[in-house]
Homo-oligomer: A and B are copies of this chain.
Amino acid sequence: MIEYNRDAHDIYRQSFAIIRAETRLDHLPADLEAVAVRIVHSCGMPDIVEDLLFSPDAGAAGREALTAGALLLCDSQMVAQGITRARMPANNPILCTLNEPTVPELAKQLGNTRTAAALELWRPHLAGAIVVIGNAPTALFRLLEMLDAGAAKPALILGFPVGFVGAAESKAALAADSRGVPFITVRGRRGGSAMAVAAVNAFGREHS
């Protein structure tokens, strides 16, 4: 037998204690602390908190929307899969349109990626939804374009695209002007589905 902690509850407790000991949280609004802690937990990097950017109303907006039953619009199947259903306070529906059969043709028409084109199918659902982007910079850029063109406003944008082409730029564009929508994002290249999911799950119920 190898010596290791086998108690899920105790592993969580210890993890969050280590994170709180190693992470500077005092610059965050109190209602975003849990989001920050869970994002650190998802990636193993306490310094990620220094790169978090957010609007001051993001915590309240997220909690209210989720409690009111907001739909979760996800850019990738990994994000949709990662959200812990049991933590969602209102049995919140989760939608990822990336694999819808019309998306490849929409992408050709729009001259954009499939991930960006998939947002066309979000239009009837955008008002009051929580948008969760954990993969594609083009999805975040496209969302900002749609808002500029008058699309209905979501309740919150969780913008965590990752990578080397457009990720930092799309998140900087969101942080510079979120088109009046509350948001949480992370500066730079880091991001990804696990961080995006962690942010959603942090707004949910404590025990699943």
The docked-state distance in angstroms from the alpha carbon of A45 to that of B21 is: 24
| A127 part of interface (Cβ distance < 8 Å) | no
| A42 part of interface (Cβ distance < 8 Å) | yes
Residues facing B in A159-184 (CB within 8 A) are 162-167, 169-170, 173
Give A contacts to B, CB under 8 Å. 1-2, 4-8, 11, 14-15, 18-19, 41-45, 77-78, 80-82, 110-114, 116, 137-138, 141, 144-145, 148, 162-167, 169-170, 173, 188-194, 197
Q: Is the CB of A138 within 8 A of B43?
A: no
Q: Is the CB of A173 within 8 A of B41?
A: no
Q: Name the one of B43, B77, B82, B164 contacting A18, with C-beta atoms under 8 angstroms.
A: B164
The docked-state distance in angstroms from the alpha carbon of A77 to that of B77 is: 10
Closest partner residue, chain B, to A79 (CB atom): B78
Q: Is the CB of B188 within 8 A of A44?
A: yes
The docked-state distance in angstroms from the alpha carbon of A44 to that of B18 is: 24
B-chain residues with CB within 8 Å of residue A189 when the two chains form the complex: 44-45
Nearest Cβ on chain B to A148's Cβ, whole angstroms:
8
The docked-state distance in angstroms from the alpha carbon of A204 to that of B51 is: 34
The docked-state distance in angstroms from the alpha carbon of A81 to that of B74 is: 14
